[in-house]
């Protein structure tokens, strides 16, 4: 009897021990699962922070490369011995020194990255604040805008520029802009940047920047390449594009100038000039095989032997 009771107590203890061991095993498994999750999250967090730090470092490197491109462009412009000899060739490249044996590469490796830059002549563009209505209309027509829309945009530009509140036939003044879903004021003064055109009635991003067009869309050349707010209003006939030459000097004169520019700069400036003071530089720095890029745009004014920045944008996308 005593032996039987002893065996029963032993059996209870064994069962209790087995149950306790099972609970402990489950707890250990859960602890391991939690630790794996914590370690995994920590590892992911650290990898993310490392990647952010690397991207930040490479972003700074790309920005510095873009700045190096700006400095290289300045040096190229200042090295020109005879500014009146610069011209845009048949391929659309701004040639600063016609006597140079090779065309400028405007691209260079530096450190672990590369920079490339483009130089355009602001004096070869039409000053949006000084252009006449016929000149403006010719530019918009050349860019692919139809006659009705061109009239409306030109009238609206004139209303934007003038100091009164009188409407031109197809223009827009304060009342129009205040009635927009997101209202703003009519400038009634000269534009401070070409991008200000996007605020004018009738102007669209496609007309401004250009578009290839789709099945039911129009194709535009993009008027941004033809306008400036920097120069005096007198164009450089050696660097002005065809649309600007035709708008200012007429079709025949433009054709003659373009034919001469195929072999070199035009020596005499009939109705224009042959030297420039304002230049736009767009420089892009890239690292990690081009995966990380930064682009800087600046407009420089040449004063004696110095290049002075009159516009700066380092948030170009």
pLDDT digits (tens, 9 = 90+) for 35-90: 777 777 766 666 766 666 666 788 899 999 999 999 999 999 998 888 888 888 77
Distance CA 217, CA 84 (A): 42
Q: Residues 293, 135: contact at Cβ < 8 Å?
A: no
Confidence (pLDDT) at 12: 56
Q: Determine the 3-state secondary structure of 276 from DSSP.
A: coil
Confidence (pLDDT) at 217: 75
Cβ-Cβ contacts under 8 Å for 258 (sequence gap 6 or more): 242, 245
Cβ-Cβ contacts under 8 Å for 54 (sequence gap 6 or more): none
Q: What are phi and psi of 42, to 5 degrees?
A: -65, -45
Confidence (pLDDT) at 93: 79
Nearest to 297 by CA among 309, 308, 282: 282
Q: What is the pLDDT of residues 272-308, one digit of tens each?
A: 788 889 999 999 999 978 788 999 999 999 988 889 9
Helix ranges restricted to H, the chain: 2-78, 133-142, 147-161, 174-178, 205-209, 242-249, 251-261
Tokens in use for 211?
A: 């578009």
Cβ-Cβ contacts under 8 Å for 63 (sequence gap 6 or more): 285, 294, 296, 314
Q: What is the pLDDT of residues 91-125, one digit of tens each?
A: 777 888 777 766 677 889 988 899 999 999 999 99
Question: Mean pLDDT across the stretch 236-260?
Answer: 92
Cβ-Cβ contacts under 8 Å for 162 (sequence gap 6 or more): 188
Q: What are phi and psi of 118, to 5 degrees?
A: -125, 135
Q: Residues 281, 119: contact at Cβ < 8 Å?
A: yes
Question: Mean pLDDT across the stretch 242-254?
Answer: 94
- Percent of the chain exceeding pLDDT 90 equals 51
Q: What is the pLDDT of residues 169-228, one digit of tens each?
A: 999 999 999 999 999 999 999 999 999 999 999 999 999 999 886 666 788 989 999 999
Per the structure, the complete domain to which residue 197 belongs is given by 126-230
pTM (predicted TM-score)? 0.76
Q: Determine the 3-state secondary structure of 32 from DSSP.
A: helix
**Kind of pairing, strands 126-127 and 227-228?**
parallel
Flag whether 186 is in a domain. Answer: yes
Distance CA 57, CA 278 (A): 33
Flag whether 256 is in a domain. Answer: no
Cβ-Cβ contacts under 8 Å for 165 (sequence gap 6 or more): 173, 174, 186, 188
Tokens in use for 303?
A: 């004063």
Flag whether 98 is in a domain. Answer: no
Flag whether 158 is in a domain. Answer: yes
Number of domains observed in the structure of the chain: 1
Write the CATH number for 222.
1.10.40.60
Flag whether 25 is in a domain. Answer: no
Nearest to 300 by CA among 310, 290, 291, 292: 310
Confidence (pLDDT) at 297: 94
Flag whether 15 is in a domain. Answer: no
Flag whether 199 is in a domain. Answer: yes
Confidence (pLDDT) at 42: 65
Flag whether 185 is in a domain. Answer: yes
């Amino acid at each position: 009897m005593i032996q039987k009771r002893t065996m029963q107590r032993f059996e209870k203890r064994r069962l209790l021990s087995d149950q306790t061991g099972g609970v402990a095993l489950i707890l250990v498994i859960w602890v391991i699962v939690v630790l794996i999750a914590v370690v995994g999250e920590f590892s992911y967090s650290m990898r993310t922070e490392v990647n952010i730090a690397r991207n930040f470092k490479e972003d700074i490197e790309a920005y510095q490369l873009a700045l190096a491109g700006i400095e290289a462009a300045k040096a190229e412009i200042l090295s020109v011995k005879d500014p009146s000899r610069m011209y845009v060739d048949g391929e659309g490249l701004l040639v600063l020194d016609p006597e140079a044996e090779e065309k400028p590469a405007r691209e260079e490796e530096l450190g672990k990255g590369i920079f490339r830059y483009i130089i355009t002549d602001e004096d070869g563009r039409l000053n949006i604040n000084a252009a006449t209505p016929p000149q403006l209309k010719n530019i918009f027509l050349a860019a692919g805008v139809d006659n009705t829309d061109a009239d409306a945009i030109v009238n609206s530009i004139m209303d934007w520029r003038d100091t009164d509140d009188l409407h031109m036939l197809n223009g827009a003044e304060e009342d129009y802009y205040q009635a927009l879903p997101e209202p703003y004021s009519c400038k009634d003064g000269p534009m401070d940047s070409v991008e200000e055109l996007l605020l004018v009635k009738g102007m669209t991003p496609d007309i401004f920047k250009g578009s290839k067009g789709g099945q039911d869309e129009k194709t535009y050349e993009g008027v941004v390449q033809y306008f400036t707010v920097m120069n005096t209003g007198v164009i450089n006939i050696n660097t002005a594009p065809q649309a600007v030459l035709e708008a200012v000097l007429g079709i025949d004169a433009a054709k003659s100038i373009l034919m001469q520019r195929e072999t070199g700069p035009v020596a005499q400036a009939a109705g224009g000039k042959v030297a420039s003071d304002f230049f736009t530089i767009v420089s892009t720095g890239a690292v990690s095989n081009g995966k990380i890029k930064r682009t800087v745009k600046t407009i420089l004014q040449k004063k004696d032997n110095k290049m002075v920045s009159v516009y700066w944008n380092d948030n170009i996308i």
